[in-house]
Chain A
Amino acid sequence: MAVIRDMIPAFELFQPTTLQDALALLAEYGDEGWALAGGLDSFDWFKDRVKRPTAVVDLAGIESLRGVRPWGDGIEIGAMTTLTDVIENEDVQSRYGLLREAASHVATPQIRNAGTLGGNLCQDTRCWYYRSGWPCYRAGGNTCYASAREAMNREHCVMGARRCVAVNPSDVAPALIALDAQMVIAGRRGERVVDAEDFFIGPAIDITRMTVLKPGEVLTSVRIPPDYAGATFYFEKVRDRQSWDFALAAVATAMVTSGGNIQRARVAVNGVAPYPVRLENVERVVAGRPVSEETAEAGGAVATDGAKPLRHNDYKVALLENLVRRSLRGTEA
């Protein structure tokens, strides 16, 4: 038999079947605990031995966290629903095509079959200095390697930086922000619900976390209201390869039009900041205007207000402007 080189430092594994048990375990272990969903991001960290939790709490056995169900006139999707199940759900396809599009742009079929909606939203940044275990600000150190003079930062952010310049890698996140979704969070002290756009946080709020989730909290579901169901949707992701790759920039736009005019629109982008960004200035500029090339131009022109590119990523500014403009032309993608 082959000699095994155990890649992962040992941890204690728990497989609770109820949310209450999971919350109790996570509370017991605090910073030393780790919630496990599909494992795609988690095991990547463990194998690199950069993150070494003492206890891993596997959420896969908790049936109540899985599946798509009606929620008023909208829908509620359990955090442990796989991306493939999200993509293949009839309600998602017929009314929330933006989410379907975004989820089907994630990685590869294999990764979508195992990766969960919650895991995709809670995943950590892919900045390779940080992922390689360098002691940067985000890892609790006192420097940012990616913004150093000689750093390779083509994939890093052009807005929202505060000491850390990593980007949020989720394709699904901007679609949920554009659909005005809500995140349902459970903790030892009960449940709280936050808007999708407030769920993600930047380094100005907490440089070590990507979301508002505190240790011990679990994202249980995502609720999507009917407000933008069946709206005009546009999702586009630009990446170096057509498969597998994370976004260099991605845009998700939902527009409600009537008589050729944009009544209201929500525009969100990712891959350009440490958190997915809702572009409210663009939404304001286009609201009430006719669907036209001029409107799209006007929206695109303000999309990158305040952008500050790094040494190797100024292309992202032009890219973002173009993506936002294209998303506002009223053609679906």
Chain B
Amino acid sequence: MPTLLTAFPDFRQLSDRRGRPWRTSDRPSTPAPGSAHVGQGNGVVRLKVNGDVYEVGVPEHYTLLETLRYGIGLTGSKQGCDKGDCGACTVLADGHPILSCITPVWEAEAFEVRTVEGLADGTRPHPVQDEFDLNGAAQCGFCTPGILCSAVALLDRNQSPTRDEIREALSGNLCRCTGYTKIYDAVEAAAGRLREGAP
């Protein structure tokens, strides 16, 4: 059972509104006291993130990234260009990498979100995270959360990727520090560990 982390008990019925057209202004306009949200709430969005369910008050024009960072407080996903041009905000939607900076948050109710915070298994890092560390694949680290998400999406469906497949899978993530070689090395090494049955 996922835990409901930011609850607005009075607004619970809102999650049943799928199936009928609605306007955001019909929704309660003030988030409950104690909400993690700091902006002007125009509605409550219900998101599944890393196995937990969150209900967060947000304005209708919010992106998924803004909701993750400023509504929920998951700041692992980075706000780089905020325009779809860098990949730093990459998160997984039902396992597929997308750019959260340019995803309308209300569309994100339709899928499960996984962010860099949700890659580790409890306190044990994902093999890709480990290998990034061991291979020196992060320098400033700003691109790293997004790249880890793209890499995990690749390794979830292909544990023996060729170098070209790795390059293709990471082609939507810019890194201005490393020159990419060590990043590809790390993903290759992680693939090896996963093939050997690493958890």
Contact = CB atoms under 8 A, between A and B. Distances in A.
Interface in A2-51: 2-4, 6-18, 21, 25, 36, 38-40, 43-44, 46-47
A21 B104 CA distance: 20
A244 B22 contact: no
Interface of A: 1-4, 6-18, 21, 25, 36, 38-40, 43-44, 46-47, 56, 58, 60-61, 84, 107-111, 113-114, 242-244
A58 B109 CA distance: 13
A17 B21 contact: yes
Nearest to B172: A108
A116 to B, nearest CB: 11
Given A4-B70, A7-B82, A107-B172, A15 B21 contact: yes
Contact of A36 (B38, B83, B104): B104
A84 B59 contact: no
Contacts, number: 113
B21 A25 contact: yes
Contacts of B60: 10-13, 56
10 contacts: A4-B38, A25-B21, A39-B102, A40-B99, A109-B168, A109-B169, A113-B96, A113-B97, A114-B98, A243-B171
Given A14-B21, A17-B19, 15 more contacts: A2-B69, A11-B60, A13-B24, A16-B21, A40-B84, A43-B84, A56-B61, A109-B150, A109-B171, A110-B97, A111-B84, A113-B96, A113-B97, A114-B103, A242-B171
Interface of B: 18-25, 36, 38-39, 42, 59-61, 63, 66, 69-70, 73, 82-85, 87, 90, 93, 96-99, 102-104, 106-107, 110, 150, 168-169, 171-172
A43 B172 contact: no
Nearest to A82: B96
A15 to B, nearest CB: 6
Contact of B99 (A2, A18, A21, A110): A110
Given A39-B102, A44-B102, A242-B171, A12 B70 contact: no
